[in-house]
Amino acid sequence: MARFTFKLPDIGEGISEAEVVAWHVAVGDRIEEDQPIADMMTDKATVEMESPVSGIVVELAGEIGDQVSIGAALVVIETDAAEFSAEEAPALRIDPPAELKVAPASAEQAEVAEQYEAENPGVEEAILSPSPSPLRGEGRGEGQPPAPSPDTAPLPRPLPARGRELKALASPAVRARAADLGIDLANVKTESDRIRHADLDAYLRYGQGQGYQPPHASNARADTPIKVIGMRRRIAENMAASKRAIPHFTYVDEIDVTALEDMRADLNANRGRRPKLTMLPLMIVAICKAIPAFPMINARYDDEAGVVTRHGAVHLGMATQTDAGLMVPVIRDAQDRNVWQLASEIGRLAEAARSGKASSAELSGSTLTITSLGPLGGIATTPVINRPEVAIIGPNKIVERPVFAKNALGGDEIRRAKLMNLSISCDHRVVDGFDAASFVQELKKYLETPVLLFAD
């Protein structure tokens, strides 16, 4: 009996160590010559190591994930042969991984190869394994290396890109996933030198048909020129004029709407045949109650005449998204309507705008605008003022978060709260920052104490 130590060979140029990514044998296993024993991964490829001798595995280098240095013992095998000398040790052969095998050369490739040979005389073929030493075995002459067979022949020296076609590399995880999915990696396209999970995802998404492209491949469609006309042109002109003429500033504050949402749920549960309430009617009631103390918010500025008109009635513009673009139907005398009347008018005007039946009178004359994206409201918005108004209000998305609060005994507690950021953009020529912030604080008072919405 003898022990043969299989040392990790140099499996890549400039590689000092490799990682064990899979063991195909265990201590005590009987293995045969050429049987796979381990998969070793470098930063360039994963190579399957095969046993050069037959025998019983008595030692392994480590666990999966361990790094093994080049030249260090990988596997110790107990063989039936006598002790090997350095000269008589079985030749080490490393079959290249499937990803690195060279495709059969075409006539064009052969021509390129011949040209490359003529231009680079005397250069030896590049192989992945050390030069084989003489083998001992039945039918082989002493000191003579075995004749190469098709599956053991060394790899030819790398040729210029035009003269070879190599399959892309893939990590063991990618190969395992491909095997589980029944995907032949030869059919998977990639833009890099390695097949990755994203390439498999693209293959699964588009299949092998004509529409399959590797990730990041161009899916560009033809350019489509669209003339800006009609409603779209009017919106573009109004927004450009607003941003060009008005020095905007935006103020944002956070509002706890937990109690308001609870009250809204109670009102909806007892609404009978009245329309279902959203947050918007309640918000409008709060705006109308706060406006009398801040008349500069509910105003229009004629910059040509140099006149600011503070309006006594709240004609509230309601930004509405339609197929034709953004429209702003107007709720007339919003201050005189209750939440149910506001809900009905909101529904009627929104439907009229979306169906294209809103009249010119219903789309003009607003003194203040509110814009809401509902559940798409985001964290904060910086809405553009609907000129010649001087302010626009934008409630944002409601989110649930833990907050610190005081309990009935004055101690600290953490509770679940529904919070909403409220944005307001103002014309700084008419509205000062202090006025905008004070107005939002007044709104906050009504929204966080919703019973005040129904108090005289």
Cα-based distances in Å from 183 to 103, 123, 237, 358: 19, 38, 54, 57
Which residue in 66, 262, 302, 432 is the catalytic one? 432
Q: Distance (Å, rounded) from C-alpha 287 to C-alpha 307? A: 24
CB-CB neighbours of 213 under 10 Å = 15
Task: Give Cα 41 to chain centroid, integer Å.
Answer: 28
Determine contact, residues 424/287, Cβ cutoff 8 Å: no
* Secondary structure letter of residue 400 according to DSSP: E
Q: How many residues in the chain?
A: 456
Cα-based distances in Å from 182 to 176, 209, 244: 10, 17, 60
Task: Tell whether omega for the bond before 160 is within 30 degrees of 0, i.e. cis.
Answer: no
Burial tier of 41 (Cβ tally within 10 Å: 0-12, 13-18, 19+): middle
* 24 among known catalytic residues: no
* 428 among known catalytic residues: yes
Cα-based distances in Å from 68 to 10, 56, 93, 131, 403: 11, 21, 18, 22, 53
Which residues fall within 8 angstroms of residue 434, CB to CB, at 6 or more apart?
Answer: none
Q: Is 34 left (phi over 0), alpha (psi -120 to 50) or beta?
A: left
The residue behind tokens 């499937």 is 98
Which residue in 197, 253, 428, 435 is the catalytic one? 428
Determine contact, residues 12/44, Cβ cutoff 8 Å: yes
Active site residues: 428, 432
